[in-house]
A and B are shown apart, each in its own frame.
Chain A
Amino acid sequence: MSELALAGRVVELVRSAAGPGAEAEVVVWHAAEALTRFANSAIHQNVADATTTVRLRLHLDGRTASGSTTRTDTDGLQALVERTVSAARLSPPDVSWPGLTPPTPLNPGEELDEATARATPQERAVRVRDFVAAAGGLETAGFCRTNYASAAFANTAGQAVEGRFAEAAMDGIGRFGGADGVARLASGRLADIDGAVLGARAAAKARAGGQPIELPPGRYEVVLEPDAVADILANLAMFGFNGKSFAQRQSFAELGAQQFDSAVTLLDDPIGGPGEPAPELPFDAEGTPRASLTLVADGTTVAITHDRSSAAEAGGVSTGHASPSSREWGPFGTHLRLAPGPAVPVSDAAVGPTAESSRALVASMRRGLLITDFWYTRVLDQKSLVITGLTRNGVWLVENGEVTAAVGNMRFTQSYPQALGPGAVLGIGGEAIMLPDRWSGVRHTAPAVHLSSWNLTGNASG
């Protein structure tokens, strides 16, 4: 039975159990995830699973409950409906129920790559083997992953849609003399993932990271490479442009205000583009079609991400950002893209520690730091989005446009919107890289950025 047929069947079971007045939405999600993980230059964990999950949200007589199950046989579906109906009847009134998505066509997107959807453990292992070999004897660690998902949505208002996507990613480090270097890439096509290229890049960074100096805390001019910028995008999405945070006055975002440097244009782009397979399903957990959404245009905040609940609270419309947990955690963008700056020709000479998209920015920095990656970033103050975290996978001192020394990892405490504020962005790299998520299925696309100031508040000594 297809996912769409299964979703329709659950809708019918709800009508039978709760009557025609029940409002129900059903998502049937089949996911085949596979991840080949390596450490100490050997594959040490190699996992796969194939799971179908049915999620039901039900609004009955003014009360709401939701449930999910991995049991898709008749008994399992019947049990899901019965316990969700029972839970709704026992629930307190839900005064903020936003209603169902009406029948709405999906936005067209690029088809998935079938080869990625059907990737084998051997294809992932080949990329690991190539990464390890290209690191030239350095200790390596990381993963190669492929995911395939097909899903359907149906509700009692008549919305019925289905879609599929596939993605691949590789993320690995090379280790040399106590220094780590990283290389990452995500794509809709496994064929785009070249383990040898990534392994060589990670190794070059690691080799350039030996014998780090320790710098005193303080404010530094910085070039942030795409991995670090992706962390900024993730936190802006989660806490700044989140419709629930916005509605609850916990966000810095002000619609129509010039809150960022005019060089900053930021989109959430979950449906891909010409020649680029969609990185996500074409609809959200409420059945709203996903679409590209400009959040910041030339430095001005112009949109917030909403599900139906936060949109109703804010007096707007859903932007297609509902998730199973968005009523609790808020709706946020999962595929942000910071628009790159103008492309600048760079030489193909020895790479050293600098990623290709960062080289022109580094060349223009008189004195500052080149930072590869951020780690363990946490919010200290949500309203101003002050974040503390650490650098990781390589920091270098840059003087007169040249890398002059490796630097030990440092702690920072920095407001992210302030760092990108008007006048603070000195340059944006010409190439945006799609980066794999660290944790939760989000994949942001980022170029390097050159910022006038970053507040480093600690070093290896404390």
Chain B
Amino acid sequence: MSGNHFDEACTAVQAALDTGARYADARVMLRRSESMSARDGDIEDMSSVESAGIGVRALVGSSWGFYAVPDLSDSAARAAGRRAAQIAAASAMVPGPAIDLVPTGAGEADWASPCEIDPLSVSQSTKGDLLVAATGAAKAAGADLAQGLLQVWDTQKWFASSDGHRIGQHIRECGGGVWASAFGDGEIQRRSWPSHRGQYGTRGWELVDGLALVENAPRMAEEARQLLTAPLCPSGETTLVLGDEQLALQIHESVGHAIELDRILGWEAAFAGTSWLDLDQLGTLRYGSDLMNITIDPTIPGALGSFGYDDEGTPAVKRDAVRNGRWVGVLAGRDSAAVAGLDYAGSVRADGWARLPMVRMTNVGLEPGPHTLDEIIAATDDGVFMDINRSWSIDDRRLNFQFGCEIGYEIKNGKRGRMLRNPTYTGIGPKFWQSMDMLSSEIVSWGTPNCGKGQPAQIGHTGHPAAPARFTNVRVGVRG
């Protein structure tokens, strides 16, 4: 499969229009991916996937239809366009309000993510040697179980719409991590490097080269072993300092999903859920403290949620979601924005050619604060530091959360003290964010490669700039 595939996309769009659609778009996608995992110094699984096809979206009246096939022949593209329009017509049996689409500035463009070393050009033996060395080093340092994972995605897509879009994109993503577990009497402790899922970005293999997996694996094993005999995280209310990796997931769960406009409008009510946010309060609601500045920014070079155009053809633009603690922006698509009376979209993506584009996070993260982690700890008389996520759970309105972290440390009189095991914390989103009184400038853009949403299920890739921060009066040490 080579060359561009705008012709197939245009054929499908025209077939949908000919079958009654008033708007249609089509994405031809070719995605090649690789995954390799290792355990205790041996390669455990290695696979490569090639997936190619066309997905067509048609709007008939006020109803959408979508159809996808892995066949790029002219006849298949035409049939897919017709079928999408026929499915949209069936939707009209239970119609909704009239649908408009906010303008996108249609045009022709090409975009590619930055990449120094093509991840697919790196040999399997090089990747295997890296994982064998990293997991072997963790095992040698005392891990009862050492695991490693490397993943690569290479996606080319050609988007055309009846509004005149002709947009080609080539996005390369990769990343990985290493995990060390220690087994105790009835419990397991785990340490992860560089994060609980690894680190991922829209970059080339240079990202993986910079992770220093082998160098950090022994320390993970040692810390996992130390955790088995560390004291339990105390229970009660205290001052909580979060590391940047845990704060990235806190942002993802309690801000990123909450500002998805489809959730706010009730489009995800039965599954992913709704949001505690009410559009009537957009621009006035206090989400967090004055230190809280969250942006929606798909333009960050190399971050996992970056692109040139979303899957509706809207150009990537940086926007505010929370400014000085006030809620000011949402993640939107062309139809949801029109329903909400907003004039911007740009956050719609699909997990492959066979899935419907829907509102997804891009890079949603914090702007830097004025402090450093060392300053935050030095300014804390009594509290707990936690980092590296271990578990996450939040309600369907994105308010009531509980997170567990891999490792904690007590903070006493401005110094980091004893290691703590099984640290957890819980709270209510806006109350928690309003208690943030110190924020570091040490931003890291963490990639989340497994954000689930939609029916049928879709996996999204998102990015989250985050830095260490301090929160007051947080309930910690929740146990079963």
Binding site for B on A (CB under 8 A): 33, 35-53, 64-72, 76, 79-80, 83-84, 86-87, 90-96, 120-122, 124-126, 128-129, 132, 139, 141-143, 145, 171-173, 175, 180, 182, 248-250, 324-325, 327-328, 375-384, 386-390, 392, 409, 411, 413-415, 438-440, 455, 457-458, 460-462
**Partner among B49, B188, B400 whose Cβ is within 8 Å of the Cβ of A458:** B400
Contacts of A143 in B (CB 8 A): 270-271, 455
Q: Which of A87, A387, A414 is B46 in contact with, Cβ under 8 Å? A: A87
User: Contact: B188 with A250, CB < 8 Å?
Assistant: yes
B residues 29-78 touching A (CB-CB < 8 Å):
35, 37, 42-53, 55, 63-70
Residues of A within 8 A of B48 (CB): 65-68, 83-84, 87
Closest residue on chain B to residue A387 by CB atoms: B480
A-B contact pairs, 29 of them (CB 8 A): A36-B90, A39-B266, A43-B91, A44-B64, A44-B267, A46-B64, A46-B66, A47-B68, A47-B87, A48-B66, A48-B68, A50-B68, A50-B69, A69-B49, A69-B50, A72-B70, A92-B42, A92-B43, A93-B43, A128-B93, A143-B270, A143-B455, A328-B44, A375-B273, A375-B396, A390-B396, A438-B271, A462-B400, A462-B431
- CB–CB B391/A40 < 8 A: no
Are A380 and B91 in touch, CB under 8 angstroms?
A: no
Contact: B480 with A380, CB < 8 Å?
yes
List, in ascending order, chain B residues with CB within 8 A of A139's CB. Answer: 266, 269
Chain B's closest residue to A76 (CB) is B50
Q: Is the CB of A90 within 8 A of B125?
A: yes
Bound Cα distance from A38 to B269, whole angstroms = 10
Per DSSP, chain A at the interface is strand
Whether A96 pairs with B44 at a CB distance below 8 angstroms is yes
Are B42's CB and A64's CB within 8 A? no
Q: CA separation between A248 and B181, bound complex, in Å?
A: 11
Determine whether the beta carbon of A70 is less than 8 Å from that of B51.
Answer: yes
Choose among A95, A126, A378 the residue that contacts B393 (Cβ–Cβ < 8 A). Answer: A378
Contacts of B463 in A (CB 8 A): none
Q: Are A66 and B45 in contact (CB under 8 A)?
A: yes
Distance of A461 Cα from B427 Cα, bound (Å):
8
Indicate whether B95 reaches chain A with its CB closer than 8 angstroms. yes
A-B pairs under 8 A by CB, number: 273
Which residues from A are CB-within-8-Å of B186?
383-384
Q: Closest 3 interchain pairs by CB?
A: A42-B96, A121-B90, A70-B70
Are B68 and A46 in contact, with the CB atoms below 8 A?
no
Q: Give the CA-CA distance A248 to B40 in the complex, in Å.
A: 11
Q: Are A36 and B67 in contact (CB under 8 A)?
A: no
In the bound assembly, the distance between CA atoms of A44 and B455 in angstroms comes to 12
With A65-B46, A69-B50, A458-B402 known as contacts, the answer to whether A46 contacts B428 (CB < 8 A) is: no
A457 to B476, CA, bound (A): 12
**Considering the chains assembled together, what is the distance between the CA atoms of A126 and B55 in angstroms?**
25
Residue in contact with B45 in the complex, picked from A53, A327, A383, A439, CB distance below 8 Å? A327
A40 is contacted by which of B125, B144, B267 (Cβ under 8 Å)? Answer: B267
A47 close to B478 (CB less than 8 A): no
Known: A377-B393, A381-B188, A415-B480. A46 touches B46 (CB 8 A): no
Closest residue of chain B to A41 (Cβ to Cβ) is: B94
Q: Kindly identify which residue among A39, A48, A382 contacts B87, using a CB–CB cutoff of 8 Å.
A: A48
Which residues of the other chain, A, contact B393 by a CB distance below 8 angstroms? Answer: 376-378, 388-390, 411
Instruction: Compute how far the CA of A369 lies from the CA of B285 in the bound complex, rounded to whole angstroms.
Output: 35
Residues of B near A66 (CB, < 8 A) are 45-48
CB proximity of A80 to chain B, nearest CB, Å: 7
A18 to chain B, nearest CB (A): 16
Most central of A44, A53, A173, A390 by chain B CB within 10 Å: A44
The reply to whether the CB of B209 lies closer than 8 angstroms to some CB of chain A is: no
CA distance A282 to B428 in the complex (A): 46
Distance A108 CA – B113 CA, assembled complex (angstroms)? 51
**Which one of B42, B44, B124, B273 lies within 8 Å of A87 (CB-CB)?**
B124
B277 within 8 A of A: no
Q: How far is the CB of B144 from chain A (nearest CB, A)?
A: 8
Closest chain B residue, CB of each to CB of A412: B480
Neighbouring A residues of B427 by C-beta, 8 Å:
462
Q: Which residues from A are CB-within-8-Å of B428?
A: 461-462
- Is the CB of B278 closer than 8 A to any CB of chain A? no
Interface centre among A41, A132, A413, A440 (most CB of B within 10 A): A413
* A49 nearest CB across to chain B (Å): 4
Enumerate B291-317 residues with CB–CB distance to A below 8 Å: none
Contact B270 A49 (CB under 8 A): no
A91 and B125 contact, Cβ closer than 8 Å, known pairs A70-B52, A415-B480: yes
User: Cα distance A33–B65 when bound, in Å?
Assistant: 14
Q: Check A92 against B132 for contact (C-beta < 8 Å).
A: yes
